[in-house]
Amino acid sequence: MGRFIPLCIPNFEGNERKYVDDAIDQGWVSTGGAYITKLEEEMAKFLHTDNVAACQSGTSALHLSLVQSGVQPGDVVLVPPLTFIAAVNPVKYQFAQPIFIDCDDSFCMDPVKLREFCEQECDFADGKLTYKANGAQVKALVVVHVFGNMADMESIMDIAHKYGIKVIEDATEALGTCYTSGRYAGKYAGTIGDFGAFSFNGNKIITTGGGGAVTANKSETVDHIRFLSTQAKTDPHYYIHDEIGYNYRMTNIQAALGVAQMEELPEFIRRKQANFDKYAKLFENYELGEIVPFREGISSNKWFYSLKINRERITAEMREIITRLQDNGIQTRAIWGLINEQKPYLNETTYKLEKAPYYAERILNIPSSTQITDEEIETVVSEIKKLFEELDNGKN
Ligand SMILES: *Cc1c(COP(=O)(O)O)cnc(C)c1O
């Protein structure tokens, strides 16, 4: 057996050590320092936006976006069921009510069902959308760009504008994904809605160990979010606080890592895209599983690759598939369990979930590190095919 092939590990081939040493030498290790500002500027430049606030995590970026949206206890926030739970937990931090809207074949929020929910389950009056069942106001929606894909933002933005709903883009998996055609050609995931949240956790396309960033469609809004992330201190000299703040600021050590990672981001994206093409080619015309394509009209960062298992032929549980691949040196993972089926969410409302449960039992994520070699990709594919052929019920 060859080397263990991990699912998705960080890549520090650049100036990471140099910049972190520099931050330590200067003594700027905490929530102030030049690397934080530099990272914010580099991200803003990359995303073609004018202001970005670096923070502690993608989760805190999402939480601050909800706070800034004015989401209050009891308000409704429309959310996806098939994603990482961190996209939805901040709704609970605000004691708001999540309602789960189904995904489409991109795994992102289905705009057709979103529109239907707004038209049929809600009333719209005086610029406010209210959920008929309990009279709560629908304040915001969280749209996740799953695995580096792009949600159908043209349709989602039209619906949100019509009904006065704030759009929070969870672009934690989609740094570098942008539209190449249509109304938003040239626009990056996270810069289309009212807010965009990014994550630099260990398995994301760039990492600062833990970290995140948030942007918004108005520069002053980002300034206010930055202010909230540093305990909302109003006066430079005195400890005066007119609002509830948070300890959500990124540290300079993390930002030093981030500045180095931003230098490599274009190369990471290039490799992820090239490796995706290799996988897609090796699985071409394969009956037992297919590589799920990304949306057309975009350039995706292709952060994670999805293999859709043919459930007509392979009925083995995910647990078995993952364990047997692991035994052969290949780390894979199942797509997330549905959030609405997790204990804290069992009593929440769902709206016409069909695609989400369908994909939840079919998608296997396969190794996608930027360091993966051609030979390793070939090994992954041949091991998966070997296993699938053993598990195939259709063979005779
Ligand atoms: C990673 C991730 C988050 C959370 O980011 P953290 O930096 O880990 O807090 C939120 N939403 C999605 C979809 C993610 O993949």
Span 79-129, pLDDT tens digits: 999 999 999 999 999 999 999 999 999 999 999 999 999 999 999 999 999
- Closest ligand 1 atom to 212 CA: 7
Position 227, amino acid? F
pLDDT at res. 76: 98
Q: Report the length, in residues, of the chain.
A: 396
Secondary structure class of 112 (helix, strand, coil): helix
* pLDDT value, residue 147: 98
Residue 205 C-alpha to ligand 1 middle, in angstroms?
12
| pLDDT at residue 46 greater than cutoff 60 | yes
Model confidence band, residue 357 (pLDDT cutoffs 50, 70, 90): very high
The burial class, CB within 10 Å (0-12 / 13-18 / 19+), for 13 is exposed
Burial class (CB in 10 A: 0-12, 13-18, 19+), 129: buried
Determine the Cα–Cα distance for residues 156 and 114; give it in Å rounded to an integer.
8
pLDDT mean over 220-229: 98
pLDDT at 3: 80
Q: Is the pLDDT of residue 385 over 80?
A: yes
Confidence category of residue 224, pLDDT binned at 50, 70, 90: very high
d(CA 285, CA 281) in angstroms, rounded, equals 9
Average pLDDT over residues 161-165: 98
Query: Beta-carbon neighbour count of residue 324 at 10 Å?
Result: 17
Q: Which of 101, 123, 135, 74 is nearest to 338 (CA)?
A: 101
Prediction pTM value = 0.98
Q: What is the mean pLDDT of residues 152-165?
A: 98
Q: How many angstroms does the Cα of residue 326 sit away from the middle of ligand 1?
A: 24
CA 393 to ligand 1 center in whole angstroms:
37
Over its C-alpha atoms, the chain yields an Rg (Å, rounded) of: 22
Look up residue 268 and give its amino acid. F
Strands 195-199 and 305-309: unpaired
Q: Does position 396 have pLDDT exceeding 60, yes or no?
A: no
Separation of alpha carbons 129 and 119, rounded Å? 10
User: By the 8 A CB rule, do 380 and 367 touch?
Assistant: yes
Residue 334: pLDDT band with limits 50, 70, 90? very high
Segment 6-34, tens digit of pLDDT: 999 999 999 999 999 999 999 999 999 99
> Dihedrals φ, ψ of 82, to 5°?
-110, 80
- Could you report the per-residue pLDDT of 257-281, keeping only the tens digit for each? 999 999 999 999 999 999 999 999 9
**pLDDT exceeds 60 at position 229:** yes
163-184 average pLDDT score: 98
Ligand 1 pocket check for 84: Cβ under 6 Å: yes
Measured torsion, CA atoms of residues 5, 7, 10, 11, in degrees rounded to the nearest 10:
50
SS3 (DSSP) at 131: strand
Distance CA 225, CA 204 (A): 23
For residue 183, report the distance from its CA to the centre of ligand 1, in Å.
Answer: 27
Task: Name the token pair of 102.
Answer: 């189904």
Q: Average pLDDT, stretch 185-206?
A: 98
Q: What is the pLDDT of residue 394?
A: 78
Ligand 1 atom nearest residue 173's Cα: 15
pLDDT score, position 2: 66
With 0-12 / 13-18 / 19 or more C-beta atoms within 10 angstroms meaning exposed / middle / buried, residue 27 is: exposed
Mean pLDDT of the chain: 97
Query: Number of helices and strands (H, E) in the chain?
Result: 11, 16
**Does residue 305 sit in helix, strand or coil?**
strand
Q: Determine the Cα–Cα distance for residues 33 and 250; give it in Å rounded to an integer.
A: 10
Please say whether the beta carbons of 279 and 381 come within 8 A.
Answer: yes
pLDDT over threshold 60, residue 1: no
Task: Output the six-digit token pair for 258.
Answer: 């981030």
Say if CB 322 and CB 333 are below 8 A apart.
yes
State how far the Cα of 335 lies from the Cα of 149, in Å rounded to an integer: 15
Span 195-216, average pLDDT: 98
| Helix residue spans in the chain (DSSP H) | 16-26, 34-47, 58-68, 89-93, 111-120, 153-163, 219-229, 252-282, 318-327, 355-360, 374-391
Find where tokens 């705009």 sit. 111
pLDDT at 54: 98
Indicate whether residue 208 lines ligand 1 (CB < 6 A).
Answer: no
How many CB atoms neighbour CB 222 within 10 A? 24
Please tell me if the CB atom of residue 59 comes closer than 6 angstroms to any atom of ligand 1. Answer: yes
